[in-house]
């Protein structure tokens, strides 16, 4: 079963952080008890969110004017074969059909 996504507010996020820090401290204690060394990274808890989050993220986007070649390439990703279409079956459902199936070796005979 897939775990559900949880929506957090600021206080619940702080609680999650405290629980993770407690778990981290317990794991470090286990490492020390078993003689396993680890690198202790310093975390600055005074660092505010605004120091990390750039409110003007749009200023970093480099403007690109699409050329005709760029547009053709983009639309080419969504272009299919023009000689293939769907045909409804007698008992329901749709089946691929090829307009030139008798002349074109790329179109298998689907009868």
Q: What is the structure's pLDDT at 26? A: 93
Cβ atoms 17, 43 nearer than 8 A:
no
Per-residue confidence (pLDDT) for residue 48, from 0 to 100: 55
pLDDT at residue number 47:
55
User: Domain residue spans in the chain?
Assistant: 8-39, 81-111
One-letter-per-residue 3-state SS of the chain: CCCCCCCCCHHHHHHHHHHHHHHHHHHHHHHHHCCCCCCCCCCCCCCCHHHHCCCCHHHHCCCCCCCHHHHHHHHHCCCCCCCEEEEECCCCCEEEEECCCCCCCCCCCCC
pLDDT in tens, 46-86: 555 556 777 888 888 888 899 999 999 988 888 777 777 88
Q: In terms of pLDDT, which residue wins out, 42 or 83? A: 83
pLDDT tens digits, one per residue of 17-30: 999 999 999 999 99
Write down the pLDDT at residue 95: 84
């Amino acid at each position: 079963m897939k775990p559900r996504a949880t929506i957090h507010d600021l206080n619940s996020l702080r609680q999650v952080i405290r629980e993770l820090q407690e778990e981290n401290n317990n794991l470090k204690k286990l490492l020390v008890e078993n003689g396993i060394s680890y690198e202790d990274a310093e975390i600055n808890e005074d660092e505010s969110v605004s120091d990390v989050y750039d409110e003007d993220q749009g200023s970093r986007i480099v403007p690109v004017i699409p050329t005709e070649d760029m547009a053709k390439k983009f639309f080419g990703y969504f272009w299919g074969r023009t000689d293939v279409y769907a045909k409804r079956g007698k008992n329901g459902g749709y089946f691929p059909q090829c307009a030139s199936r008798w002349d074109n070796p790329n179109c298998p005979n689907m009868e």
